């Protein structure tokens, strides 16, 4: 292997530019090529950039730093614009703020932020003698993430949970960005922190006796959550309770809403299994609720002696059944909510006298309330045609209200308490948008693009009123389209910086998500994955044909699996887009999915396909962005990633950029911005740092359509 990852001339020009030595147009770094040949189904495949996987090789870091220096030089002109955007975006945020307190037991829990501090502070106060929130009661700080983060470049809070007797906090943190969470306890009376109790913890919960905790750890190599442990905090070492051997399955542990049962879920893409144990008997044995059955997905809640089971058995979009705790098998099921072909049953939350189910229909979130005594259903309605809503957490099982969060692309996040008996909603708090924001100046609507096979694809659109649909407006098109994760049409105060500059913002709800039910996911995965990419292209063409924008005014963005989308569509239709932001992109599909030692690989065979099988290999290779780069013109491309990303390895975007540099025939920018300091799949952990990243990305995309202030 050569001693230098760059051609000397390119390095000299780059160093000169980065040091301010007068180079006007630094040349991009050129990664060296090292012979590497892999054999795939009998075919020899050359990959001269394979060496970039060598994370500890100093030449790799040198190359990535050179790319960062090149990006820094090439974007020097937008620094003032990015800084102005940052100040503008920051100016809309109430930096010192308080969440709506939530009752759990004798306390009300909330988080607050303070101006100038990167992280929230987790707090609680005792309730009043009448059971309500008392803002005069002394505040107790449970966890100040700002204190924990002192001296660190990154800090992520994995979760926190208070014991049933309110005395001890259980929490986990990651300081690497690689999702390696350590588990701690904190005595809330003395402030004493103990731990780490365990490392590589992915989920955890308390038993009802205040002394036993259960937690799940991940495999060191593949990061698959595969072992359940029990720990007695009064002494002893963690005991292994259960190990999931099947590499397709991952594990999670939690408690039912009424706190009566511990639940361990083992899930693959298409098959789920749950094990339960009474929370009051933590040293007992977990029992399988329903044995795993290929294709059967179910989860469970408990209420008043019955298991409430959300199941897809004979119900593509799920139905809801109940069963006695002692005999939960299908022979003893009672159907409570039947399957509906056009409604996806997404979840349920039980209360002492009511049940709330979360549904999705035509890409919109819905709630229905079931009165257990009256045996009646009531719909919860919302005022806008495009919106997002979800449960906001109601830990109190006996509550007569259900807390929900509502927002749209023009309505800032709003917290409501919904009366379970009447359905009436009481607004508790709406996120304040500073700077004189007026929602009436903006419009959001739902459009439907027709895909090439005739399927209608929903689009969520927001823009500032007064827009002329003459094809001249710049348009920002975002999509994800994988894993059955829908893209909610949520509010963003930062996005106002785009809208106020005349840019339209659109979310394409393409196949691969779940906006139109489980079938929407099925039609965008495995051997139907190409639908995801063609849906996006067809949505873009629809927007151009309907004169919302034009191809030279159209910028696109996607991250992670959405970065795969960006790579695939720019290979297929590079002429359709002006600029692309590809974040932490999954672009080297074949090398990743053929390496079973990597995190996420084996467990995702059921999402993408197993390339060890020739038919799946051929199909996946036909869209893999890295493998389909060609010698042709590409749009302007900005690729962002993190050196310590655990979900999409840094070398995927690095190799993609290195290879594309040797093939692109245009003069459009191709930039790689790699966070070398600790950062995760979602980038920086601090709120100000994340906002600065967004400001830079927005400034770059706006510049590509001629907007520079």
Cβ within 8 Å of residue 612, ≥6 positions away: 594
Residue written as tokens 């390339």? 611
Residue 290, token pair as written in the block: 């329903």
Residue 561, token pair as written in the block: 């699996």
Give the separation between CA 250 and CA 17, rounded to whole angstroms. Answer: 48
Length of the chain (residues): 709
SS3 state at 669: coil
Residue 281, token pair as written in the block: 């008997």
Give the separation between CA 445 and CA 698, rounded to whole angstroms. Answer: 23
Give the separation between CA 263 and CA 273, rounded to whole angstroms. Answer: 10
Is the CB of residue 155 less than 8 Å from the CB of residue 147? no
H-type alpha helices, 458-597 = 496-499, 518-522, 530-545, 561-572, 589-593
Determine which one of 365, 535, 645, 693 is catalytic: 645
Give the separation between CA 639 and CA 567, rounded to whole angstroms. Answer: 10
Determine which one of 302, 509, 521, 681 is catalytic: 681
| Region of residue 48 (left: phi > 0; alpha: psi -120 to 50; beta: else) | alpha
Q: Which H helix or E strand runs over 87?
A: helix 79-90
Give the separation between CA 533 and CA 563, rounded to whole angstroms. Answer: 11
Q: Establish whether 645 is a catalytic residue.
A: yes
Percentages helix, strand, coil for the chain (3-state, rounded to 5) are 20, 35, 45
Give the separation between CA 36 and CA 573, rounded to whole angstroms. Answer: 30
Q: Name residue 324's beta-bridge partners.
A: 306
Q: Establish whether 560 is a catalytic residue.
A: yes
Determine which one of 560, 624, 641, 646 is catalytic: 560
Write the CA distances from 305 to 263, 302, 559, integer angstroms.
Answer: 15, 7, 44
Catalytic residue ranges: 560, 645, 681
């Amino acid at each position: 292997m050569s001693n230098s990852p760059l051609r000397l001339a390119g390095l000299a020009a780059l160093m000169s530019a980065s040091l301010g030595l007068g180079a006007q147009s630094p040349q991009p770094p050129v990664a060296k090529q090292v012979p590497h040949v892999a054999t795939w189904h009998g075919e020899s495949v050359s990959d001269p950039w394979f060496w970039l996987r060598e994370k500890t090789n100093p030449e790799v870091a040198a190359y990535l730093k050179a790319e960062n220096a090149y990006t820094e030089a090439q974007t020097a002109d937008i620094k003032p614009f990015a800084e102005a955007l940052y100040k503008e975006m920051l100016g809309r945020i109430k930096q010192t703020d308080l969440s709506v307190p939530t009752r759990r037991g004798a306390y009300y829990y909330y988080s607050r932020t303070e101006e100038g501090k990167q992280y929230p502070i987790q707090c609680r106060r005792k309730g009043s003698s009448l059971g309500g929130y008392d803002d005069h009661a002394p505040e107790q700080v449970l966890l100040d993430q700002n204190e924990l983060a002192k001296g660190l470049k990154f800090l992520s809070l994995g979760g926190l949970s208070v014991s049933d007797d309110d005395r001890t906090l259980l929490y986990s943190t990651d300081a690497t960005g690689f999702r390696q969470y350590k588990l701690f306890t904190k005595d809330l009376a003395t402030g004493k922190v103990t731990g780490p109790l365990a490392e590589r913890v992915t989920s955890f919960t308390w038993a009802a006796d205040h002394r036993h905790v259960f937690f799940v750890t991940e495999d060191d190599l593949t990061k698959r959550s595969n072992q359940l442990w029990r720990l007695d905090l009064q002494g002893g070492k963690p005991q292994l309770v259960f190990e999931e051997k099947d590499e397709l399955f991952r594990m999670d542990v939690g408690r039912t809403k009424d706190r009566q049962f511990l639940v361990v879920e083992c899930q693959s893409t298409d098959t789920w299994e749950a094990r339960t144990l009474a929370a009051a008997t933590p040293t007992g044995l977990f029992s399988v609720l329903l044995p795993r059955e290929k294709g059967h997905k179910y989860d469970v809640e408990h209420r008043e002696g019955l298991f409430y089971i959300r199941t897809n058995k004979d119900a593509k979009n799920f139905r809801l059944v109940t069963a006695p705790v002692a005999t939960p098998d299908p022979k003893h099921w009672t159907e409570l909510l039947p399957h509906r072909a056009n409604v996806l049953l997404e979840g349920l939350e039980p209360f002492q006298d009511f049940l709330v189910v979360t549904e999705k229909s035509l890409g919109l979130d819905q709630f229905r309330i079931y009165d257990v005594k009256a045996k009646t259903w009531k719909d919860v309605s919302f005022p806008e045609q495009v919106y997002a809503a979800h449960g906001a957490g109601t830990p109190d099982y006996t509550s007569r209200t259900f807390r929900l969060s509502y927002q749209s692309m023009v309505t800032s996040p709003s917290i409501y308490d919904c009366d379970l008996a009447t359905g009436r909603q009481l607004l508790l708090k709406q996120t304040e948008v500073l700077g004189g924001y007026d929602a009436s100046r903006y419009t959001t609507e739902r459009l439907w693009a027709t895909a090439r096979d005739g399927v209608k694809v929903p689009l969520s659109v927001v823009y500032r009123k007064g827009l002329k649909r003459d094809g001249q407006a710049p348009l920002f098109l975002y999509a994800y389209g994988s894993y059955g994760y829908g893209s909610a049409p949520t509010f963003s105060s930062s996005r106002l910086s785009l809208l106020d500059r005349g840019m339209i913002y659109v979310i394409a709800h393409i196949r691969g998500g779940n906006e139109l039910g489980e079938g929407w996911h099925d039609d965008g995965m495995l051997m139907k994955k190409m639908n995801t990419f063609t849906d996006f292209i067809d949505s873009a063409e629809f927007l151009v044909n309907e004169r919302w924008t034009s191809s030279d005014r159209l910028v696109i963005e996607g991250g992670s699996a959405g970065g795969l989308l960006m790579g695939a569509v720019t290979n297929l239709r590079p002429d359709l887009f002006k600029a692309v932001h590809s974040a932490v992109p999954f672009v080297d599909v074949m090398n990743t999915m053929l390496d079973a030692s990597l995190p996420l690989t084996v467990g995702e065979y059921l999402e993408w396909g197993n390339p060890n099988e020739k038919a799946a290999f051929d199909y996946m290779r036909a869209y893999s962005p890295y493998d389909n780069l060609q010698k042709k013109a590409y749009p302007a491309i900005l690729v962002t990633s993190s050196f310590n990303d655990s979900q999409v390895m840094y070398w995927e975007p690095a190799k993609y950029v290195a290879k594309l540099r040797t093939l692109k025939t245009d003069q459009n920018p191709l930039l790689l911005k790699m966070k070398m300091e600790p950062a995760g799949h979602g980038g920086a952990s601090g709120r100000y740092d994340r906002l600065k990243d967004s400001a830079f990305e927005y400034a770059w995309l706006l510049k590509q359509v001629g907007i520079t202030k």
